[in-house]
Amino acid sequence: MTRIQQSPTDPAFVQNPYPFYDSARARAQVLWWDEYAMPAVFSHAAVSALLKDRRFGREVPPENAVPAPDHLTAFYGVEAHSMLELEAPRHTRLRGLVLRAFTSRRIKALEPEIRALCHQLIDNLPAGGCDLLPAYCTPIPVIVIARLLGVPEEMAPQLLRWSNDMVGMYQAGRTRAHEDAANLAAQEFTAFMADYIDQRRRDARDDLISELIKAEEDGQRLTTEEMITTCILLLNAGHEATVHTLGNGVKTLLEENVPLSALKPDTISGTVEEVLRFDPPLHVFTRYAYEDIHLFGYDFKRGDQVALMLASANRDPAAWADAGTFDPKRAIKTNTSFGGGIHFCIGAPLARLELQIALEVLFDRLPNLALDGTPSYADVYHFHGLSALPVRY
């Protein structure tokens, strides 16, 4: 089969991976990526199909499972209860119980306080200019998820540190230092959440943790371990992705000189969908084959891991005309930024709400917003987000 070579830590690739995706997509439906030692699919058709095909899944087949190394037992102890890493029937039960607490009504009710938070952060910006990532993009999702969970807002910086350390496990070229930091963060985060859940068992409030405790389906409830992991997952996945999308989105909107008319209440939803398609926060998501399957000209064997190139699928000219062009007026078509199938991102409605409000408020309050230099992307692939976003206003 066709083999490709591309280091995910190569500086040119980190700054702009899309030419590589275009080249790979044009060569074959399935290619062997040497650096990852696995097949990868790059087209919208193949990525979408494998996201939805139940013969592929996230859970490691038993014959592929290996014991967690001693220095990562806490980290993988958390992962063991993550719905992101599980398949039916356990995934079905977990997701159903979480959805009973993580309702559209609860998310919609957050709109006024998300808007107020955005205004507050802009009120506190230093005169003239700043790095918008720590000043605006980062605080919004971590404060919102803290409030949603019912965790004290002053805990947000600590939650952020734990989240960043744990998510470091997924970047290319991770080191033993990254692994040690992730394991320590998992230990501390687990201890904190266990104590907080215990408090909510004794004193229920109007928050997500209390709702998770109450959630029941067919006589089953979430275990404490499942609740801990769910809260950690909601923070880590939701925060990391939203920060990157918001930063990437502001960069794109300013570079492309997108008119302010595309950032008004009646147009913002379409603009956000194009932001998500054009430069998404997560570029790779893997699946395991659960049986021998011939698809897209490739013979997958049970246990094979395959890389689904989400960002490449979003730039596929077979799915979008002028796919490499940012067009906020583009007719909305389902992109792959939130995944698909049974693992479609459970936090997608909250992420969309945060992005719509944050971008609308930002450009309404700062109509002269401009880049102050060239933003650069951080070396954190397979995530794709900026290291800084210098702006003036």
The mean pLDDT value for 308-313 works out to 98
What is the number of domains present in the chain?
A: 1
Cα 199 from Cα 187, distance rounded (Å): 19
Which pLDDT belongs to residue 27? 96
Q: Which two tokens stand for residue 391?
A: 């702006």
Cα 187 from Cα 222, distance rounded (Å): 20
- SS3 track for 247-268: HHHHHHHHHCCCCHHHHCCCCH
The mean pLDDT value for 52-67 works out to 96
The mean pLDDT value for 33-39 works out to 98
pTM (two decimals): 0.96
The mean pLDDT value for 27-48 works out to 97
Helix (H, G, I), strand (E, B) or coil at 56: strand
**What residue type is 37 in one-letter code?**
A
**What residue type is 228 in one-letter code?**
I
Which pLDDT belongs to residue 30? 97
Q: Which two tokens stand for residue 323?
A: 């796919």
Which pLDDT belongs to residue 176? 97
Cα 14 from Cα 25, distance rounded (Å): 18
* Angle separating helix axes 156-167 and 224-255, nearest 10 degrees: 90
Helix (H, G, I), strand (E, B) or coil at 340: coil
pLDDT at 231 over 90: yes
Give the largest CA-CA distance in the chain. 60
The mean pLDDT value for 216-239 works out to 88
pLDDT at 219 over 90: no
- Cβ neighbour number for residue 326 with a 10 Å cutoff: 18
- What residues make up the domain containing 87? 3-392
- Are the C-beta atoms of 307 and 78 separated by less than 8 Å? no
Tell me the CB-side half-sphere exposure of residue 134, using CA atoms within 13 A: 9
Positive or negative torsion for Cα 97, 350, 287, 293: positive
pLDDT at 260 over 80: yes
Q: What is the pLDDT of residues 87-123, one digit of tens each?
A: 999 999 999 999 988 899 999 999 999 999 999 999 9
Cα 42 from Cα 57, distance rounded (Å): 18
Q: What's the mean pLDDT when you consider all of the chain?
A: 96
Q: Which two tokens stand for residue 99?
A: 């959805």
Burial class (CB in 10 A: 0-12, 13-18, 19+), 335: buried
The mean pLDDT value for 172-192 works out to 97
Which pLDDT belongs to residue 154? 92
pLDDT at 278 over 90: yes
The contacts of residue 49 (CB under 8 Å, 6+ apart) are 295, 296
Q: Provide the pLDDT confidence category of residue 1 given band limits of 50, 70 and 90.
A: confident
Cα 315 from Cα 321, distance rounded (Å): 9
Cα 10 from Cα 328, distance rounded (Å): 30
CA neighbor of 327 nearest in space, from 252, 386, 246: 252
Among residues of the chain, what percentage have pLDDT more than 90? 95
CATH of the domain at 72: 1.10.630.10
Q: Provide the pLDDT confidence category of residue 220 given band limits of 50, 70 and 90.
A: confident
pLDDT at 232 over 90: yes
The mean pLDDT value for 327-342 works out to 96
- The CA-CA-CA angle for residues 369, 350, 281, to 5°, reads 60
3-state helix vs strand vs coil in the chain, percent to 5: 55, 10, 35
CA neighbor of 56 nearest in space, from 294, 282, 305: 305
> How far are the Cα atoms of 7, 8, 183, 382 from residue 174, in angstroms, in the given order?
13, 12, 13, 11
